[in-house]
Amino acid sequence: MESKVFSLIKGDIRDLEDVRAACRDVDVVFHLAAATKVAESVRDPRLYHDVNVTGTLNVITSATKSGARRLVFASSAAVYGTPGEVPTPETAPRVPLSPYGASKVAGELFCQTITAHNPTESVLLRFFNVYGPRQLAEGEAGVVCSFLHRALAGEPLVIFGDGHQTRDFIYVDDVVEAMIRSATYQIRDSLPFNIGTGHPVSILELAKEVQRQCLDSSSEIAFEKTRSGDIYHSVAAVERMQHQLQFKAEHNISQGISKTLDQL
């Protein structure tokens, strides 16, 4: 598809020729393509290797071969596993708990080691819990969207565990701004960036905020037993993002839910 502002190429990240075509004559490559479901990665690790590792290798080699100035790679807070420090800094050990997290660690290492021998620069962004309009209501990252859809349908908002587990929810518009800045800032070192708000929100607080904003909803909060492998606290340390990218998330959870609700 062609327009005055973009070209759309339909392809598969696992197809090297598709990726090479997409990277041709490009200044900055934003690599967001990935399989992202933790439970699915446990059931089908080969798929996650093919998409997230081999696919990422295709992107890196295509970006470097085309002469792209910079590659921005969308990594994940899943690389930390159960963090020993909360908020978690970028220097924390990478100890993933799932094949999905492991595939993101591999992607980071390929970015760092391959671009170290090429003119193309790499920037690693570790996204925390991104949410916003048009998000699929699947998985932990989609809990905001899931709660909103259930509330609008009058269905219970199901919390696994006691609800006091915390997440760092960041609105999609803020993520886009962080990505734009990551394409233009002056690189000082090879460390990644956490992309989050730095503010913990408990799942129970999230459910109550959804109830508050969905005024006509009859949804109640329901509790089920904790799911195996769930991390209790996940919050980003954001000082590096603020200092080097000169960026701070603008939306708190209330504002982000309001914007998401307006577009459902």
Catalytic residue (choose from 48, 100, 131, 171): 100
- C-alpha 88/C-alpha 90 separation (Å) is 7
What's the chain's length in residues? 264
User: Is the separation of the CB atoms in 250 and 197 below 8 Å?
Assistant: no
CA distances from residue 9 to 6, 31, 249 in whole angstroms, order as listed? 10, 14, 31
DSSP output for 48-84: HIIIIIIHHHHHHHHHHHHT-SEEEEEEEGGGG-S-S
Residue with tokens 């660690």: 105
User: Is the separation of the CB atoms in 236 and 124 below 8 Å?
Assistant: no
Q: Catalytic annotation on 131?
A: no
If one counts every other C-beta atom within 10 angstroms of the C-beta of residue 264, the result is: 11
Helix 99-115 vs helix 55-66: angle between axes, to the nearest 10 degrees?
A: 20
- C-alpha 55/C-alpha 41 separation (Å) is 15
Angle at 104 between CA 98 and CA 109, to 5 degrees: 130
Tell me the catalytic residues: 100
